Amino acid sequence: MIAYALKRIFVAFLILLVVSGLTFSLSHLSADPALTIAGEQASDEDIEAVRKLYGFDRPIVEQYGNWLGRALQWDFGDSFHYKAPVVEMISGRIGTTMTLGFLAILFALVISIPLGTLAAMRPNSFIDRFALLIAVFGQALPTFWFALMMIIVFGVWWRWLPISGNTTWAHFVMPTIALGYYATPALMRLTRAGMIEVLGSDYIRTARAKGLSPTVVLFKHALRNAIIPVVALAAVWFGFMLGGSIVIETIFNLKGIGWLSYDALLRSDLPVVQAIVLIFASFYVVLTLLADLLNAYLDPRISVR
């Protein structure tokens, strides 16, 4: 288990190194940062001065080294537009995004695990059809459209929920549902498929032959095994949720990182974009790593391979 963990951590570290390189070079290829900072009306001399001041005239490798070195010390420079430290802008908003992502994945799991399990216990029953319906809708509806529909129904017609901002927990209800619903179909189908397979397995027959109660057979012997891949997928989806938060936060004017990245992209605010991509990517890698380790812990066979 320890050797397996160390190996996975080393791989995660390599991935992060590659990601940071890509982040840096891609954002540099997309636009001339000196032009953005200096503004539309700037003269050639002004632009040249800006280029020198920010070190954009240096070899790209050197720029990358400096950037990465500072990033590791949690310094992403100042925002071109707001002229404020990027780290402050992000740390003030990351709580909102994490809360949204966490609530969304929790919502998805709370819906998909029981529903997937019930569907698996009685394939082709009413509950199975119902679960399928929910999954099909979840997959077919674009997130933004679903979010807008909720705003119209619950925010505008019935006025049950606030439609914009993030001051109270009520502000999180619709964004959570909109974002979480997006992850539900995949998680539910995996739960259902996993449960059907496990319920038909020999060890479940053994558990029943031992006269264990149906509850113990279902929860201890079946769900525990079926849930392993669902946990892994949920961690991956948590990463997707952060990506999806760009759309959702913009729609609900929820001022988290997603909203910030949308804003920064519109303004070509390079340091902000780089910081967000690197932080999200690192987060994603760490999540996948944790999911793997959790899997290895839950399924003792994995660490042997």
92-110 in b/e burial notation, b at 16+ Cβ within 10 A?
A: ebbebbbbbbebbbebbbe
- Give the range of 37-45, 65-73, 109-117, 294-302 binding another protein by CB under 8 A: 294-302
Minimal distance, residue 118 CB to another protein, in Å? 16
> Which pair of tokens denotes residue 285?
């890698």
Tokens for 213, please give them.
Answer: 């109660």
Taking the chain, what is the end-to-end CA distance rounded to the nearest angstrom? 10
The answer to the question of residue 207 lying near another protein (CB under 8 A) is: yes
Of 20, 112, 225, 274, the one binding another protein (CB under 8 A) is 225
304 binds another protein (CB under 8 A): yes
Angstrom distances, CA of residue 235 to CA of 110, 117, 160, 170, 293: 14, 19, 31, 25, 11
Does 125 interact with another protein (rule: CB under 8 A)? no
298 near another protein (CB under 8 A): yes
Tell me if 1 contacts another protein by CB under 8 A: no
**Shorter beta-carbon distance to another protein: residue 225 or 245:** 225
Cα 146 from Cα 156, distance rounded (Å): 14
Q: Does 210 bind another protein (CB under 8 A)?
A: yes
Rounded CA gap, 275 and 64, in Å? 13
And the tokens for 88? Answer: 């402050």
Binding to another protein (CB under 8 A) within 231-290 occurs at none
209 part of the interface to another protein, by CB under 8 A: yes
What is the contact surface with another protein in residues (CB under 8 A)? Answer: 201-203, 205-214, 216, 221, 224-225, 298-301, 304
